[in-house]
């Protein structure tokens, strides 16, 4: 597991046979910002799990429906998936070439999340302020360690280090 800067990640993607990337991290850790920047410089199509896993009225799809939606994306080339959603992480193992985790302190993530909550007029369903979201932000380091144990033996895993 390596910590890389943005330009190092871009170079790694361009010089390898990576066709699918999943950007994971705590709410407010910079996943979407990184996903947008990588999509722009690589030309990979971007898919957001916050948009994919909810009905129009902000009701979550079932795990079966989530997996079916993922399966439609995972057969494509040159994709970036923005989102962690631990409920389907095992389904993505073996199908994602590179997992990138955003590194952020819980306080920085909380600040960014609350700032987005206050400033953004049209929040996606997965960006709502809920007790579950607060729990994820404040306990993400523990959750992340469990994810690392799950991913590391099976996949390429890197940590995005902000400048």
Quote the pLDDT of residue 155. 61
The string of pLDDT tens digits covering residues 70-98 is 999 999 999 999 999 888 989 998 899 99
Model-level pTM? 0.87
pLDDT for position 81: 98
User: Tell me: the pLDDT tens digits for 49-76?
Assistant: 988 998 888 888 999 999 999 999 999 9
Q: What is the pLDDT of residue 75?
A: 96
Mean pLDDT of 149-156: 71
- Of the candidates 23, 27, 36, 25, the one whose C-alpha atom is nearest the C-alpha of residue 109 is 27
Helix boundaries (H) for the chain: 6-15, 31-42, 49-52, 63-74, 89-92, 106-119, 131-138, 140-151
CATH code that applies to domain 2-160: 3.40.50.300
Q: Report the C-alpha gap between 40 and 82 in whole angstroms.
A: 14
pLDDT value of position 163: 67
Using DSSP's 3-state secondary structure scheme, residue 124 falls into coil
In 10 A of CB 163, how many CB atoms? Answer: 5
Q: Which of these, 158, 124, 121, 152, lies nearest to 18 by C-alpha position?
A: 158
């Amino acid at each position: 597991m390596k910590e890389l800067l943005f330009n190092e990640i871009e170079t790694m993607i361009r010089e390898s046979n990576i066709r699918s990337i999943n950007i994971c991290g705590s709410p407010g850790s910079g996943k979407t910002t990184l996903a947008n920047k990588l999509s722009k410089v690589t030309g990979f199509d971007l898919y957001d799990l916050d948009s994919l896993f909810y009905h129009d009225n902000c009701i979550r799809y079932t795990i079966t429906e989530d997996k079916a939606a993922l399966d439609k994306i995972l057969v494509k080339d040159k994709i970036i998936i923005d989102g962690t959603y631990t409920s389907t992480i095992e389904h993505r193992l073996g199908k994602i070439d590179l997992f990138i985790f955003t590194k952020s302190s819980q306080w920085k993530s909380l600040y960014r999340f609350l700032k987005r909550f206050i400033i953004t007029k049209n929040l996606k369903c997965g960006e709502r302020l809920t007790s579950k979201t607060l729990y994820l932000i404040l306990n993400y380091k523990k959750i992340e360690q469990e994810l690392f144990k799950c991913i590391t033996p099976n996949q390429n895993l890197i940590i995005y280090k902000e400048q």
